[in-house]
Amino acid sequence: MNLLLQAVTQNTPVNYFPIALQLVIAVGFIIVMMGATHLLGPKRRTKDKLVNFESGIPSVGNARQPMGIKYFLVAILFVLFDVEVIFFYPYAVNFRYLGQEGFLAVVMFVSFFLCGFIYIVKKGALDWED
């Protein structure tokens, strides 16, 4: 009995066989389905089908025109500040457990957050008028 229990608790390559089998079956299924759709699917390459489609709006002009950096700057700043705000959630959940040390850490975090925001405002990153 002890030998059987020891064999069950040991990690051997045989224990991973079901996982490997499932992986092989999943990859095989994907390959078969992609091949079947490629072979059995319709192949109508007309001029209308090969034209780029942008949300129902016909394409006008060249897409390689220069674009204002303000759009990208605001997008990056949004992501930056959005991610910083996400860090408030763990504090809100555990504020009683964290106590005064946690509160001081959050105050320091908010002060860094506000310093960054003030820096961005002073640099004029949010001014749309040029």
Structural domain contains residue 128: no
CA pair distance 39, 65, nearest whole angstrom:
39
Distances (CA, A) of 42 to 34, 45, 50, 88, 89: 14, 9, 14, 52, 50
Structural domain contains residue 83: yes
Distances (CA, A) of 3 to 13, 21, 111, 119: 18, 27, 62, 68
* CATH number of the domain bearing residue 24: 1.20.58
For residue 101, the 8-state DSSP code is H
Structural domain contains residue 129: no
Number of domains, the chain: 1
pTM: predicted TM-score of the whole model, two decimal places: 0.44
Average pLDDT over residues 45-62: 73
Average pLDDT over residues 60-70: 75
Is residue 84 classed exposed, middle or buried when 0-12, 13-18 and 19+ CB atoms within 10 A define those classes? middle
3-state secondary structure (DSSP) of residue 57: strand
Evaluate if residue 7 carries a pLDDT over 70.
no
Range of the domain at 27: 2-123
Structural domain contains residue 51: yes
Structural domain contains residue 49: yes
Structural domain contains residue 82: yes
Q: Which residue has the higher pLDDT, 9 or 15?
A: 15
Task: List, for residues 91-123, the tens digit of each pLDDT value.
Answer: 888 888 888 998 999 899 889 888 988 998 898
Structural domain contains residue 130: no
DSSP E strand boundaries for 33-123: none
Structural domain contains residue 42: yes
Share above pLDDT 70 across residues of the chain, in percent, rounded to a whole number: 85
